[in-house]
Amino acid sequence: MRIRGIPLTSLPGLLKPRTWHPDRETHLFLCVCDHYEPMWRRPARHVQDARVARWVDDFPRVTAGLHDSAGRPPQHTFFYPQDEYDAEHVEQIAGLCRLGYGDVDVHLHHRHDTSGGLRDKLETYVRTLHDRHGLLERGRPGQITYGFIHGNWALDNSHPCGDWCGVNDEITILRETGCYADFTMPAAPDPCQTKTINSIYYAVDDPRQPKSHDTGIAARVGRKAPDDSLLMIQGPLAFDWSSRKLGLFPRLENGDLTGRRPATLQRLNLWASAGVAVAGREDWRFIKLHTHGAQEANLEMFLGEPMRRFHEGLRQLADEHPQLKYYYVTAREMADLVHQAELGEAVPRFSSDRFDSAERAESCSTCRCAPGAVPVAVGAHAAISGV
């Protein structure tokens, strides 16, 4: 049985959320993971073009003068769908990323698929993003790596009806094709929601069964990632008792940023209180948010006053509470920070910019700095590209 897509066994964790207070030493990592779909509802080409142009033209303008505790501007990770790939639009978004405002990762909608079909889609798409647009990065030993969000939430064939995927060994295929982490959850109120909530953990695939990520092994300081596992980074899931339906039932807070539900400091409190963290490093709070940023109502929120007010309010909150540090990060950076926490790091570190000034000036789409760039300590002013 489920309530708003949430298994009953998960409800106790929602009824007793962790607490936080900005007066205590806390590092907040905020990552916006955009299910970025310019073809949403299949409009005319000029509408799709306008959706992309608004982001490219307006995001630098509306974020001008805004920065986090490390001196970096807001970041946005565009999870661009393989099934809606458009070379012109991807290249425009890649140009925005080269200016230091974000990154691109992989989104995929599929149904009634096969293991072989999925593998081919992913391998072809990540090569295209990397070789044609200069996106993604090579890990070790030279494999192109990517973050992933599953369309319709149905990761690893997890929909109860068996729709919107079809591949029980999807987690294995993701791992083998270079996926560094999955960012699909939370799905609630959708029934694809996992039993595991508000967690950073590792899923080990059972290729014979669906939904192997329903449970997993928690990421923990001093613990090595299990063999043959995939990192899962969940966003916050909570009950919002300050907003009740019919004056009785709390609304569900799932980290979805929309025109009707923009980012606010009140929501930030719920996100931080969800306590998504690496076990043993609870003062590092990971806040993975999601949106559908090509939809007009959401686009207007992100590129207008509501989002700017949130950023300015967050800056004021940090000024009033010196123990609070906050960082705008990409999905890839968030995964890197998880691994830093596992290694017992006390101060978060960020790699230097993947695109140097000369590359940005030339709008080069093929040259990228090596993944092993020298770290820059937090507090240094570093314009770091990423989503």
Q: Give domain status of residue 196, yes or no.
A: yes
Strand partners, 104: 78
Asked if the structure places residue 276 within a domain, the reply is: yes
Using an 8 Å Cβ cutoff, are 241 and 253 in contact?
A: no
Tokens of 222: 């001093």
pLDDT tens figures, 378-387 = 332 222 222 3
Cα 45 to Cα 62: distance, rounded to the nearest angstrom: 25
Tell me if 108 is assigned to some domain: yes
pLDDT tens digits, one per residue of 141-175: 899 999 999 999 999 999 999 999 999 999 999 99
pLDDT at 353: 54
Interatomic CA distance for residues 230 and 156, integer angstroms: 12
Residue 351 lies in a domain: yes
Using CA atoms, how far residue 114 sits from 96, 110, 384, in Å, is: 34, 10, 38
Q: 96: Cβ–Cβ under 8 A, 6 or more apart, which residues? A: 55, 56, 59, 60, 102
Please state the pTM of the whole predicted model: 0.90
Assess if residue 54 is contained within a domain. Answer: yes
Flag whether 382 is in a domain: no
Q: Could you report the per-residue pLDDT of 335-379, keeping only the tens digit for each?
A: 999 999 999 999 999 876 554 332 333 333 333 333 333 233 333
Residue 28's CB is within 10 A of a number of other CB atoms, namely: 25
Tokens for 293? 């940023």
C-alpha dihedral sign at 244, 250, 253, 256: negative
For residue 218, the cross-strand partners are 201
104 near 135, Cβ under 8 Å?
yes
Buried b (16+ CB within 10 A) or exposed e, 266-284: ebbbbbbbbbbbbbebeeb
Please tell me the total count of domains within the chain: 1
Q: Which two tokens stand for residue 256?
A: 């979805």
CATH assignment at residue 184: 3.20.20
pLDDT reported for residue 332: 98
Phi-psi region of 148 (alpha: psi -120 to 50; beta: other; left: phi over 0): beta
With b for 16 or more beta-carbon neighbours within 10 A and e for fewer, the 214-247 pattern comes to eebeebeeeeeeeeebbbbbbbbbbbbeeeeeee
**Backbone angle region of 326, left / alpha / beta, with phi > 0 → left and psi within -120 to 50 → alpha:** beta
Position 293 pLDDT exceeds 90: yes
86: domain range? 29-377
Instruction: Give a yes or no: residue 7 inside a domain.
Output: no
Confidence of residue 130 (pLDDT cuts 50, 70, 90): very high
Beta-carbon contacts of 315 under 8 Å, excluding residues fewer than 6 positions away, are 66, 67
pLDDT band with cut points at 50, 70 and 90 for residue 304? very high
Which neighbouring-strand residues pair with 29? Answer: 286, 327
Mean pLDDT of the chain: 91
How does DSSP assign 206-249, residue by residue? -TTSS-GGGS-EE-BTT-PPPTTEEEEE----EEEEEEEETTTE
- Does any domain span residue 164? yes
User: How would DSSP label each residue in 316-328?
Assistant: HHHHH-TTEEEEE
The predicted pLDDT at position 252 comes to 94
- Between CA 41 and CA 39 the distance in angstroms is 6
pLDDT digits (tens, 9 = 90+) for 45-72: 999 999 999 999 999 999 999 999 999 9
